[in-house]
Each structure stands twice: as structure tokens, then as C-alpha cells.
Amino acid sequence: MLKGFLGAVVTCLLFALPATAELLVADAVITTAIEKQMPVDNIKSYPADYGKLFCFTRVTGAEAATSVTHVWYYQDNEMARVTLPIGSADWRTYSSKRFLPQWSGQWKVVVVDEEGQQLIEVPFVLE
């Protein structure tokens, strides 16, 4: 009797688990360049006239092909949206954004999954 009950509980728990693993952002940084699929630095603020920055993201937990989107915000206004494929359970990817010198101030990149759920927010300042 106990074996049957425990078997039913285990079966219910297995069906209650999600079909796919949860995507996690293992690393996310704003950087001035990407070399050998890795960021060269991790900046929190940078001169506004630099011209171009990258958002590097390492995503873990994907069990099937999926994607994440980098949404670039300037003072809470969406400036760019870049969808990036995720091809394995441990995947590195990045997007870039060009900046005009007059765009100094608060910036952030919000990384979202395919359902639009926020995974992480990466703030930085252009001075």
C-alpha cells in the first residue's frame, strides 16, 4: 500500500516539474569590446563620446533552442531591441549599441526570455 502511494506521489511530482529548465544569466556585463567570445572589461560608467559598447551575456539552463532579447534603455526610453539565439545549455552571446555624444546619462540593458520575463538588468552611465 505504501509503495503504491509513494509511486503516485513521485509520478505527480514528475508531472508537476516544468518541461524545460529555467534560463539563468550566469554573467552579464557592459564592455568596450569582445575578444575570443569574452568581454575585455566590465564598465559601470564611460565617456558618452566613446561611440559603441557591448552587452555580453552568458546564459545557462537551456534544454532546447531558445532566445533572449537585450533591450537597451536610455533614461527609461527603449532605444534598441536585439533578439539573440541560445543554442546550448551554456551559451555566450552579445549585442552592441552605438551612442551619440548627447546621450549622456543613465542607461541599462534588460535581458528578457522568449516570454518577455526579465532575467537581469545591467545598469551603466554615459558621462
Q: What is the CATH number of the domain that holds 64?
A: 2.60.40.1930
Tell me if 51 is assigned to some domain. yes
Q: What is the pLDDT of residues 48-94, one digit of tens each?
A: 998 999 999 999 999 999 999 999 999 999 999 999 999 999 999 99
**What is the model's pTM?**
0.83
Q: In which domain, by residue range, is 48 found?
A: 22-126
Q: Do the Cβ atoms of 102 and 75 come closer than 8 Å?
A: no
The DSSP code for 11 is H
Cα separation values, 28 from 95, 107, 119, 126, Å: 11, 15, 10, 18
Number of domains in the chain: 1
Distance CA(89)–CA(9), nearest Å, equals 29
